[in-house]
Amino acid sequence: MSLLLRALPFLFLFATCSPPSPEEVRSTSLIPLPADLEVQRGFFEVNHQTTIVCLSEDSAAHQVVSRFGQLLEKITGFSIAQQPEAADNAIVFSLDAKTGVPDEGYHLVINEQQVKITASSAAGLYYATQTLRQLWPEEFDSENPPRQNFRWQALEIHDAPRYRWRGAMLDVARHFFTIDEVKRYIDYLAFYKMNVLHLHLSDDQGWRIEMKKWPRLTTFGAQQEVGGTTGGFYTQEQYRELVQYAADRFVLVVPEIDLPGHTHAAMASYPELSCDGQTRELYTGIDVGFSSLCYQKESTFAFINDVVDELAALTPGPYLHIGGDEAHSTPHEEYVGFIARIQQIVHAHGKRMIGWEEIAQAHLDSTSVAQYWSNQQHAKDAAAQGATIILSPATRVYLDMKYDSTSAYGLNWAGFTNVEKSYQWLPDTVVSETQQHLVLGIEAPLWSETITHLDEAEYLAFPRLPGVAELAWTNSNKRTWSDYRQRLGRHAKRFDAWGIHYFRSPEIEWQN
């Protein structure tokens, strides 16, 4: 049925009666926009007799359902019983690989009797719960929810993501972010159905993850950050906990150790990693491109091997990010040699190598991934080698770019990036049509030269991050800026409920 035909009864309803209910408004304000949404008449009321059902033996599915039940209990104040069988006044989850729902996708039906969710993976069930969260009143998502009944609009949604990589990067090296701050960032990603957190764990200014074999990387190399303030690092135990926290929210943590440039902090900690072997002070400025590990020393590769070994053991996913960007102090021949050897080391640990786009100048295996950020030719060269690609064009999705000349934080080397510019582009046009299958997805980096705490990160990430989530989830031919900006304006209440320090861009009519 065409959209117009489906909408007809409601157009009629609105023409003759009152404006749309808040429930209806929320169901047409989802971000990312679902693949297919049909708003229907009526409501499902969650009350003190509502129950929850999980029709699956799968333990991951049970975890999703239990956590959602706990969340419902917290926001309503009711005790929501779990039942074995579907019934009226129940929220029924079923996991069934045979229903034809795509991986990570879900089918959601809400009517007056029941809420029914079907998926072929636990991830799909989880994304359905994130949709349900966006459908309940904004104030239920605050620290002090009202604890009472609420209603969901009757509707039917068929949904699945366009890209399997829906990522964000946080630079915890230029300025350090605490575990609690990173967890909060993960919460935001999960709410918008993003599934990768890439952590930039080392740079010239600091090394932020404990390495048991190279302890001075953190006992010395993590002490400071940009501007000379106190830095910090994650112990392996804390990092493991973070990885688990993310996994519980279907977010994969991808660690990055930047090599062979952006390594001043490593060389300051261990002078033998540099060619001149000299002692170095920690660096607290924001220049790039001045440091390089020493290619001529075999011990450099023993170091890299140790680091990859410890990181691989901390990483459940298949990817390790090895940086590779802006190695302006590494001669070209050495750079190419570095990437080839690092790729081997990563493989030897059973992982796939990701690097910034410059790695396309080296020989890439088809398991490797190049992260495009500035030079489209690098993306094409990587694809020509059969490597896969992550799209992070700086002019669109670098969340550290200022919105305009008045922005309180951010850089502007890639130009000002307002909300519309960040949203209005076609990811499908970066590489040729025949190479689309090589595009893993989209990632929004947030570099931290100008931001010191989460509230400042929020100013840059909100409201652009939800737009990136939609670019990665929703097909380009379904999206329009005029529709998106309406929906985004209605997320202001949500931001307020969470206490997010978002930028009130004048491009958006904020509805709060």
116: which DSSP letter? E
Contact present, 506 and 485 (Cβ < 8 Å): no
Question: Measured from the CB of residue 257, what is the shortest distance to ligand TNX in angstroms?
Answer: 13
Q: What are phi and psi of 10, to 5 degrees?
A: -80, -35
Q: What are phi and psi of 202, to 5 degrees?
A: -150, 145
Contact present, 92 and 55 (Cβ < 8 Å): yes
Question: Measured from the CB of residue 12, what is the shortest distance to ligand TNX in angstroms?
Answer: 51
CA distance 394 to 105: 29
Nearest alpha carbon to residue 93 among 75, 76, 109, 73:
109
Residue 256 region by backbone torsions, left for phi larger than 0, else alpha for psi between -120 and 50, else beta: beta
Note if the bond before 260 is cis, omega within 30 degrees: yes
Active site residue 326: yes
Question: Dmax over Cα atoms in the chain, in whole Å?
Answer: 80
Question: Measured from the CB of residue 73, what is the shortest distance to ligand TNX in angstroms?
Answer: 42
Q: Which amino acid is at 240?
A: R
Contact present, 192 and 466 (Cβ < 8 Å): yes
Question: Measured from the CB of residue 373, what is the shortest distance to ligand TNX in angstroms?
Answer: 5
| SS3 call for 254 | strand
Question: Measured from the CB of residue 200, what is the shortest distance to ligand TNX in angstroms?
Answer: 8
| SS3 call for 320 | strand
Q: Mention every residue, 6+ apart, whose C-beta is less than 8 A from residue 377.
A: none
CA distance 39 to 494: 21
CA end-to-end distance (rounded Å), the chain? 34
Kindly name the residue from 326, 334, 420, 507 that is annotated as catalytic. Answer: 326
Question: Measured from the CB of residue 273, what is the shortest distance to ligand TNX in angstroms?
Answer: 19
Bridge partners (DSSP) listed for residue 256: 200, 321
Residue ranges in contact with ligand TNX by CB under 6 A: 288, 325-326, 356, 373, 398, 400, 411, 447, 449
Which positions are annotated as active-site residues?
A: 326
